[in-house]
Amino acid sequence: MSTASSALPHRIRVSLLVLGASILILWLAVIGFSYYRLPLIERPLHPRHWQLRPSGQVGLRVGLLSLGIFLCLFLYPLRKRWKTLQRIGKTRHWLDIHIILGLAVPILVTFHSSFKLHGLAGMAYWIMMAIVASGIAGRYLYAQIPRSVNAAEMGLRELQDTSLDLSREISSQHIFREADLRGALQMPSPSDVDRMPLWQVLGWMAWLDLLRPLRVARLRRHVLSGGELLFSLGGLRRSSHLDLEAVLTTVRRQVWLTAKILFLRRAGEIFHLWHIVHKPFSYSFAVLVFLHIGLAVLLGYY
């Protein structure tokens, strides 16, 4: 089975998941717009108050759905320990689903709380937002560690060999000048990276990722001219030159790989630190969630 065909079902699953969550969130926003925008003191007078309040017919169901999705998030870390789960799907596919569900939970919790974020629930909410922010950062860091086809992390020697092969392939085409290629690959020196604090390393990684399409566009501008340059939006879009685009694809891969080699060790340090921060936030939020549910039951809100 080809890579494209094997990835298609996962894309469909992800698309359906995003579509379903978007429809639900949009529905809640539409039916509750006039309610959520009211001051708290006026809400009991709204005709949908008994449905949309946290303990109402809709609010409670949204809360239970949020709880169910939140519990599903723990399947991803459990997969590392349960061999049965390890045989299902690929790690990056699990991570994609984990991220999407993690983004849906805070939005649904916001509707469940009817935008009343104070007290114990408010504390849990902002811890949850910190988890979401760290989760997005973690997904980015995960992408910074190159992996082979079988998803195993690639070692430095393997990365360097791949980079050397790409360099030979680019040089054999004789489309770009050596000075232009050096400009596309210009990065901090390894010694500078070793001296950087971790927050600066993370900033440089993000900056180089943002800069990469602009550097490729600059290379494209060296070759194109006139109407072709205009059609490609100054080199930002692909051109009709198949040979040029094939080489640029290799250059893009080379620029990406060079950056990953440069930051490989430091990215691993940041990823390890991220694990130390992300897990306590997740477990503390779980404790607060069940404490919130327990108090709601004891006080008769359910």
Mean pLDDT of the chain: 79
Q: Is residue 60 over pLDDT 80?
A: yes
Alpha carbons 220 and 246: distance in angstroms, whole number: 12
Q: What percent of the chain has pLDDT over 90?
A: 7
Which pLDDT does position 174 carry in this prediction? 60
pLDDT: which is higher, 224 or 70: 70
Contact yes or no for 232/238 (Cβ under 8 A):
yes
- What does residue 147 show for φ and ψ, rounded to 5 degrees? -130, 155
Q: What is the pLDDT of residues 82-134, one digit of tens each?
A: 878 778 877 778 888 888 888 888 899 889 888 887 766 677 777 788 778 77
Contact yes or no for 186/259 (Cβ under 8 A):
no
pLDDT: which is higher, 288 or 302: 288
DSSP state of 80: T
pLDDT: which is higher, 146 or 231: 231
The pTM for the full model equals 0.66
Collapse the DSSP code of 270 into the 3-class scheme (helix H, G, I; strand E, B; otherwise coil) and give the result: helix
Q: Is residue 36 over pLDDT 60?
A: yes
DSSP state of 155: P
What is the distance of C-alpha 56 from the center of its chain?
A: 33
Which pLDDT does position 151 carry in this prediction? 44
Closest among 151, 147, 114, 108 to 128, alpha carbons compared = 108
Closest among 108, 25, 67 to 292, alpha carbons compared = 67
